[in-house]
Amino acid sequence: MPEITTKPRTQVKAQTERPKLYKVILINDDFTPREFVVTVLKGEFKLSEDQAHRIMITAHRRGVCVVAVFTKDVAETKATRATDAGKAKGYPLLFTTEPEE
Ligand code: TYC
């Protein structure tokens, strides 16, 4: 009997690479109250009052501040939720995401 040999159709890739991480970035604006930015940072990113205040002040002074890094899905979900919290109050508060180098 001739033996039939078939090549495996799928290649199993070694799962040793770390998932790419994404930064959530807070953008300054002239209208959102400082205390509201701090409240959103604490609620969505589980930061302490002190950490949230430092990040808010850094964005206020420099224009932008990295809040934290997450996997892509988590970063995008948190940025959207935090931006929507501002939108719900009529504020132009904005969080964006970008891949880490
Ligand atoms: N610049 C705002 C103000 O003076 C406060 C603020 C800080 C808004 C950081 C957004 O990402 C921000 N009321």
Q: Residue ranges of the domains in the chain?
A: 21-99
Q: If you average pLDDT over residues 76-96, what whole number do you get?
A: 98
Question: Sign of torsion, CA 93 59 48 33?
Answer: negative
CA of 28 to the centre of ligand 1 (A): 5
Assess whether pLDDT exceeds 70 at residue 44: yes
Asked if residues 96 and 54 have their Cβ atoms less than 8 Å apart, the reply is: no
Q: If you average pLDDT over residues 33-47, what whole number do you get?
A: 98
Domain 21-99 annotated CATH 3.30.1390.10: yes
**What pLDDT shows up at residue 17?**
82
Binding site membership of 92 for ligand 1 (Cβ less than 6 Å)? no
Q: Best of 32, 42, 54, 57 to mutate for ligand 1, by most ligand atoms within 8 A of CB?
A: 32
**What pLDDT shows up at residue 7?**
67
Q: If you average pLDDT over residues 64-84, what whole number do you get?
A: 98
Asked if residues 96 and 27 have their Cβ atoms less than 8 Å apart, the reply is: yes
pLDDT class for 19, splitting at 50, 70, 90?
Answer: confident
